[in-house]
Structure formats: C-alpha cells, structure tokens
Amino acid sequence: WTGFTQLEILGAHTDEIFSTEIRRVLLPYIHAALQGKNSAYTADFADVNDEENIRSYRVELIADKKNNGECIGFFMNISDISAQTENEKKLQKIQQLYTILRSSVKMMIKIKNEKDLLFEISKNFVQNNVFSEAFFIYHDLIQHPLWSIYL
C-alpha cells in the first residue's frame, strides 16, 4: 500500500516510506513503540496509486526488545481492511433499513389507503436519511401478494 516492495521498506526510515500525512498519524504510535509499548489502530489513507481512492487500514506496531527489555526498534504490521469496513457499513445500512421497514409494516396493518401508506413510509425514510431506498422497498412491498390482504 506504500508503493514500495518489502525489500525497499526493510531498514528504511519512515520519512523515506510514508507521506507527511501518514507520518503525522503514525508519530504518536511510533513514539509509544520505541518506548516499548505495543499499539494498534485503524485509519483511512488515500491509495498511493490513486489519490481519489480512500482505503482503510489496521496498523499494529510491536516493540522489538532485547532480552533486558531495552527497545531497539519496532515491527509494523499493516493490513488493508477496506473490504471489511465497507461490509460493516453495508450491514449497518441494512440494519437501519430493516428497522424502518419493520415499522413501515406495522403502519401497513393500520393504514388501508395506499396514498396514506406511501406518505407514511416516505416520511419514515426521509426522517432516517434513506429516502433513495424508499421507492424500491415500497414498490416491492406493493407487488407482494400479501399486500392485497391489507387493501
């Protein structure tokens, strides 16, 4: 993710590998690692090959200590977790939509008029900032055979 091979990175100084932005984020963790403390965090950085593409990373710094406990450096493990982060966002969105849909189904039982139902469902989606999905869910709902029971 840095644009360098493992051989180019091995033994290099952070100034040679990381951009100023990345070094600024890394600095407190590097200082902690050099004091013998292990740490981990997640951060979003632009892809070195495509500045528009933001990637999510999990960074772990592990202090390298001598037998006497003296810290002589650190190891850094960096994992691209962009796919995992995207999936988590999608799952949160699905959970939000499910909650809204569930409350909309409760409205269906109470509201027999299609116009009133559309208004209530749309209002529910707008209040939750997911209006773009409202039409598709409403359309699928109206097409469902069980819908005729409520009309």
Helical spans, DSSP H, in 3-81: 6-9, 14-17, 20-34
> What CA–CA distance (Å, rounded) separates 49 from 143?
46
Closest CA to 45 of 9, 75, 21: 21
Closest CA to 130 of 101, 109, 106, 88: 101
Closest CA to 29 of 1, 6, 55, 62: 62
- Cβ pair 134, 121 in contact under 8 A: yes
Q: Count H helices, E strands: the chain?
A: 7, 3
Which position has the higher pLDDT, 100 or 67?
67
- Cβ pair 23, 17 in contact under 8 A: no
Q: Which pLDDT band holds residue 144 (cuts at 50, 70, 90)?
A: low
Coil, strand or helix at 103: helix
Q: Count the Cβ atoms, other than its own, within 10 Å of residue 6.
A: 6
Q: Among all chains, which residue has been given the structure tokens 């949160």?
A: 92
pLDDT digits (tens, 9 = 90+) for 14-56: 888 888 888 888 899 999 999 999 999 898 988 877 878 888 9
pLDDT digits (tens, 9 = 90+) for 104-139: 666 655 655 556 666 666 666 666 655 555 555 555
Q: Which pLDDT band holds residue 58 (cuts at 50, 70, 90)?
A: very high
Separation of CA 127 from chain center: 23
